[in-house]
Chains A and B, each alone.
Chain A
Amino acid sequence: EVQLLESGGGLVQPGGSLRLSCAASGFTFSSYAMSWVRQAPTKGLEWVSSISGSGGSSYYEDAVKGRFTISRDNSKNTLYLQMNYLGAEDTAIYYCVKDSGARIVGARGYFDYWGQGALVTVSS
């Protein structure tokens, strides 16, 4: 059974940093790309970032480029999202999402499994 468990959320001041983790189990982690998707309070879903199975390729949405870094440790079956220079607009639930394939460059993979989410609140 695929399981994705996010951790590391919490309250952080504007301008601060936070690192989210996602512990994966139930599948061969290194064989699949992974993504982060967020949802601001009462809003819709917003794709944030994706990383290939090997970790060699990554993409970011423009709003977080230069502030957020996605990474993975395939030996620990864990996905990360380092978030710096946080602002109120980053307040959201952050979901860890598994992709259907390993590649992201030129790939048409789809999301198949979602974690339960980690709440990040940016406020003074």
Chain B
Amino acid sequence: DIQMTQSPSSLSASVGDRVTITCRASQDIRNHLAWFQQKPGKAPQSLIYDASTLQSGVPSKFSGSGSGTDFTLTISSLQPEDSATYYCQQHHNYPRTFGQGTKVEIK
């Protein structure tokens, strides 16, 4: 199985800050990497697939990059509504595996 490791596990940043979350796969997954946002008490929402393609309706302040084993999710200007837990997931093969999550809080 492919292991997905996110860092950091949590972070606290100010409104307007640029925030970056990293995700590392245990083997080459090309660009088959997705990102999800989950707010407390809510279902996850899809943000990005194929490492850098935004899902329909996702604001452009979110961006993704990377290929192979190393990937990043960037929020260009953090806003209060971005407070959530973010998960990466590989869609390269089965079993589909998720990272452990990164909790983003607003200072």
Q: Which residues of A contact B (CB under 8 A)?
A: 35, 37, 44-47, 50, 59, 61-62, 95, 100, 104, 108-117
Contact = CB atoms under 8 A, between A and B. Distances in A.
A110 B50 contact: yes
A72 B71 CA distance: 34
B36 A45 contact: yes
Given A108-B32, A108-B91, A108-B92, A114 B98 contact: no
Given A44-B98, A45-B38, A114-B46, 5 more contacts: A45-B87, A45-B98, A61-B95, A109-B91, A112-B49
Given A95-B43, A108-B32, A47 B96 contact: yes
B69 interface: no
Contacts of A50: 94, 96
Interface of B: 32, 34, 36, 38, 43-46, 49-50, 55, 87, 89, 91-92, 94-101
A110 B91 contact: yes
Given A59-B95, A110-B50, A111-B34, A45 B44 contact: yes
B98 A47 contact: yes
B43 A117 contact: yes
Contacts of B92: 108
A113 to B, nearest CB: 7
A62 B1 CA distance: 11
A111 B89 contact: yes
Contacts of B34: 110-111
Contacts of B96: 35, 47, 50
5 contacts: A44-B99, A47-B96, A62-B95, A110-B46, A114-B43
A111 B95 contact: no
Contacts of A59: 94-95
B32 A115 contact: no
Contacts of B32: 108, 110
A88 B92 CA distance: 30
Nearest to A115: B43
B25 to A, nearest CB: 14
